[in-house]
Amino acid sequence: MTQIYDRVALIGLGLIASSMFWAIKRGGLAGEVTGYARSAQTRETARKIGLCDRICESAEEAVKDADLVVLCVPVGAMGGVAEQIAPYLKPGATVSDVGSVKAAVIQAVGPHIPEGVHFIPAHPLAGTEHSGPESGFATLFDNRWCLLVPVPGTDPAAMEHLRALWEGCGAHVDEMEAEHHDLVLAVTSHAPHLIAYTMVGVADDLRRVTDSEVIKYSAAGFRDFTRIAASDPTMWRDVFLTNKDATLEILGRFTEELFALQRAIRMGDGEHLFDYFTRTRAIRRGIIEAGQDTDAPDFGRGKVAR
Amino acid sequence: MTQIYDRVALIGLGLIASSMFWAIKRGGLAGEVTGYARSAQTRETARKIGLCDRICESAEEAVKDADLVVLCVPVGAMGGVAEQIAPYLKPGATVSDVGSVKAAVIQAVGPHIPEGVHFIPAHPLAGTEHSGPESGFATLFDNRWCLLVPVPGTDPAAMEHLRALWEGCGAHVDEMEAEHHDLVLAVTSHAPHLIAYTMVGVADDLRRVTDSEVIKYSAAGFRDFTRIAASDPTMWRDVFLTNKDATLEILGRFTEELFALQRAIRMGDGEHLFDYFTRTRAIRRGIIEAGQDTDAPDFGRGKVAR
């Protein structure tokens, strides 16, 4: 139990913020955690389930006297929230976020941060397909990565505090430059999500394959896609709109490769297919060796218990 | 413990055959189970781990006196095996298979089946990304579907026996026509697999995003793709080559949809993206309601324990 901040404010109370709260409580990382969500219903739910020490009726009230303010709203809403809370931020406080895109957030939030307040963008690489205040759990960040994306001239002490908070939440912390972050995430997360959304949409469109059959016989492959494609629509809309260039670049590459494989199928080129599939197996082995997943039949998710 | 067949022969000893053996033993569904694999090393491993009551040195020997012969080899090898074992099949026996494609298997195997032997193609919708004789486990088929694809004029009693075997292995059994099966599977399994292979291949190609970063930060989305893309290369090569038309049709639809979403990203059409993502969420709910997955954090895979 090492308290890192006296007061933490969470703006937006979805999966990430609620998981942060439970992880902060688990670790005793903050004296008080305040919370605010735009929706009255979300605030009511939060109060009912004991999410945050104090739920405030405005973002201004929530950030007052906070040493750390974490913006946990969709990427497209970050700029507006930053503008709104800017006048109420405590001098010396740190503002951070949990957005899946970093360059656009820096551009939207940065200009609103007052002199004397630190701004350290961050991105915890963790999530489930669930959303809302009730979806969070204390172990979400355990053994996952949290990327800090500091802008030039960031205060080392403020960095150390934020790093300690995320480590206290169970995460491994790494630093990365914003543009590079957005490209890496386009590969590992953004493009795969759009692809999964697309495939699920195609299945839904097919009239000859009735819904019930697609659902009934979804055990292989497709089921994993539907899980990815069940993620929060607002969050993902904003991700694609704000990481447009990197996502479109990766999708362009993807389409090229897919066409090459389609051609191999059409031409009956089994060797091409076999070699390709053999190569992709190695990547899976790398992921298991890197400890980002396990080889066990429950795919390492048994530990993600509430 | 209800014995359904006196003797079952499993030809090919990979994930499906080895899981069938353990499930048959669990249920006491057969008097003796013989097994054969082309590779001497696989036969040796099978003997070492007690897979099958008797491992034979030839397919001919394995199928001798068997009441049920199940072809568990890659789809592209089914025809050759059928031709090889045909003269040794017991009159009144049933030949079945576990291939992921049905029309091509019927075309390749059917002509070799002698008069007086029943041929009932089947496809258990279950699997993991692992392969080989050591990858099987008794619960693989529990609560999964097994589709029987009988050809016209199939003997009802033979059908009942095969159905009872699969139900004894824990599966729900359904019947489907071959061409329809191949289309449904193209949507729910074959196209998703090719797409996952493609995305993992793209990630591997990117020089600016090093391997280690792709692997390290794979928690979201991409990790699920790598699991799918780690599946057996030979099996999947054969699936795509033998279910060519349906797979290419679905991939064509997929590409159209993907282009529309790419266009929406490029044009900044957030409404299109939001509506699309909202629609795909409903399919996920349908899958959970249909019991093909659970909403729990371990995604229902905890029960798939060896």
Residue of A nearest to B193 (CA): A221
Q: What does the alpha-carbon distance between residue A72 and residue A62 come to, in Å, rounded to a whole number?
A: 13
pLDDT tens digits along A178-202: 999 999 999 989 999 999 999 988 8
- Closest by CA to B72, choosing from B149, B141, B18, B147, is B18
pLDDT tens digits along A245-287: 999 999 999 999 999 999 999 999 999 999 999 988 887 777 7
The answer to whether A175 faces chain B, any CB pair under 8 Å, is no
Determine the topology of domain B180-268 in CATH.
6-phosphogluconate dehydrogenase C-terminal fold (1.10.3660)
Paired with A55 in beta bridges are A35
The answer to whether A263 faces chain B, any CB pair under 8 Å, is no
Q: Which residues of B touch A196 (CB under 8 A)?
A: 221
Alpha carbon separation from A175 to A20, A181, A202, B49 (Å, rounded): 19, 9, 38, 47
Percent of chain A with pLDDT over 70: 92
- Exposure string of A19-42, with b = 16+ CB inside 10 Å and e = fewer, is bbbbbbbbbebbeebbbbbeeeeb
Q: Which residues of A touch B285 (CB under 8 A)?
A: 230
> Residue A215 and residue B273: Cβ atoms within 8 Å?
no
Tokens representing B198? 């493609």
Residue B284's pLDDT is 77
Mutation for testing the B interface, residue in A146, A287, A288, A304 having most B CBs under 10 Å: A287
How many Å lie between the alpha carbon of A102 and the closest alpha carbon of chain B?
15
Instruction: Determine whether B164 is exposed, middle or buried from the number of CB atoms within 10 Å of its CB (0-12, 13-18, 19+).
Output: middle
Residue of B nearest to A249 (CA): B262
Cα B268 from chain centre? 40
Residue A304's pLDDT is 33
Residue of A nearest to B304 (CA): A297
Q: Any idea what DSSP says for residue A306?
A: -
Residue B123's φ and ψ, nearest 5 degrees, are: -150, 105
Tokens representing B240? 């795509």
Is the distance from CB of B52 to CB of B46 less than 8 angstroms? yes
Helix (H) or strand (E) holding B32: strand B30-36
The number of CA neighbours under 13 Å toward the Cβ of A4 is 23
Q: Which residues of B touch A188 (CB under 8 A)?
A: 203, 214, 217-222
Nearest to A192 among B222, B234, B250 (CB): B222
Q: Does pLDDT of A302 surpass 70?
A: no
The answer to whether A306 faces chain B, any CB pair under 8 Å, is yes
Determine the topology of domain A5-176 in CATH.
Rossmann fold (3.40.50)
Residue B250's pLDDT is 94
Alpha carbon separation from B50 to B16, B26, B36, B133, B278 (Å, rounded): 16, 14, 13, 10, 49
Minimum mean pLDDT range among A3-7, B84-88, B228-232, B234-238: B228-232
Q: Does pLDDT of B23 surpass 80?
A: yes
- Closest by CA to B3, choosing from B164, B160, B173, is B164
In which residue ranges of chain B is CATH 1.10.3660.10 found?
180-268
Minimum mean pLDDT range among A104-113, A118-127, B212-221: B212-221
pLDDT band of B242, cuts 50, 70, 90 = very high
Q: Which residues of A touch B238 (CB under 8 A)?
A: 270
How many Å lie between the alpha carbon of B99 and the closest alpha carbon of chain A?
14
In which residue ranges of chain B is CATH 3.40.50.720 found?
5-176
The SS3 assignment for A186 reads: helix
> Residue B217 and residue A286: Cβ atoms within 8 Å?
no
The answer to whether A196 faces chain B, any CB pair under 8 Å, is yes
Is the distance from CB of A174 to CB of A148 less than 8 angstroms? yes
Close Cβ partners of B55 (under 8 Å, ≥ 6 residues apart): B34, B35, B36, B37, B43, B46, B47
Residue of A nearest to B301 (CA): A298
Nearest to A301 among B257, B280, B299 (CB): B299
What are the E-state strand segments in chain A? 5-11, 30-36, 54-55, 68-71, 94-97, 118-120, 122-124, 145-148, 172-175
Angle between helices B233-242 and B191-205 (to 10 degrees): 120
Q: Does pLDDT of A293 surpass 90?
A: no
Minimum mean pLDDT range among A118-122, A282-286, B111-115: A282-286
Q: What does the alpha-carbon distance between residue A203 and residue A211 come to, in Å, rounded to a whole number?
A: 8
Compute the average pLDDT of residues B236-254: 95
- Exposure string of B166-189, with b = 16+ CB inside 10 Å and e = fewer, is bbbbbbbbbebebebbbbbbbbbb
Nearest to A128 among B198, B274, B297 (CB): B297
Cα B176 from chain centre? 15
